[in-house]
């Protein structure tokens, strides 16, 4: 005899985040993707997105347009939760760096600080062999 499938109801996760009007935006622009995370002042994630999560696949993820779309999507969610002023921290050499800044500004968030936090090696380990294309 076949058993009936039971439906399981899940509760929506309640958020206990303290959100003021200030926040921080972390943009990681790699050669293959652009990741955007918006946090509150304590560093708790309020909203995040990436070029891949915005619907782009393959080489189109690494374009400035994909970065713009990801940032706009994230900024919209953060603004709904009450964030108005942000500090922007950009990491990485990717194509989405400048596009992400323009998208943050055009989304309606006011920028109070822009910092480049790209890690720079001080003659660390031996580099990988040169890439041949």
Say if pTM beats, i.e. exceeds, 0.85. Answer: no
User: 């041949």: which residue's tokens?
Assistant: 132
Question: Using an 8 Å Cβ cutoff, are 78 and 38 in contact?
Answer: yes
The pLDDT assigned to 88 comes to 96
Architecture of domain 23-116: 2-Layer Sandwich (3.30)
The pLDDT assigned to 13 comes to 65
Sign of the dihedral through C-alpha 64, 57, 78, 116: negative
The full set of domain ranges for the chain reads 23-116
**What is the residue-level pLDDT of the chain in tens, covering all 133 positions?**
566 666 767 766 666 777 788 999 999 999 999 999 999 999 999 999 999 999 999 999 999 999 999 999 999 999 999 999 999 999 999 898 999 999 999 999 999 999 999 999 898 888 899 989 8
The pLDDT assigned to 133 comes to 85
């Amino acid at each position: 005899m076949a058993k009936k499938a039971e439906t399981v109801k899940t509760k929506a996760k309640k958020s206990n985040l303290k959100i003021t009007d200030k926040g921080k935006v972390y943009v990681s622009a790699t050669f293959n993707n652009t990741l955007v995370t918006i946090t509150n002042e304590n560093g708790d994630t309020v909203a995040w997105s990436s070029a891949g999560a915005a619907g782009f696949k393959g080489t189109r993820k690494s374009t400035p347009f994909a970065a713009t779309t990801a940032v706009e999507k994230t900024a919209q969610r953060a603004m709904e939760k009450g964030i108005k002023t942000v500090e922007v921290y950009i990491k990485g050499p990717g194509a989405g760096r400048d596009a992400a800044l323009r998208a943050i500004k055009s989304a309606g968030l006011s920028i109070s600080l822009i910092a480049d936090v790209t890690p720079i090696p001080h003659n660390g380990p031996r580099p990988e062999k040169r890439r041949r294309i």
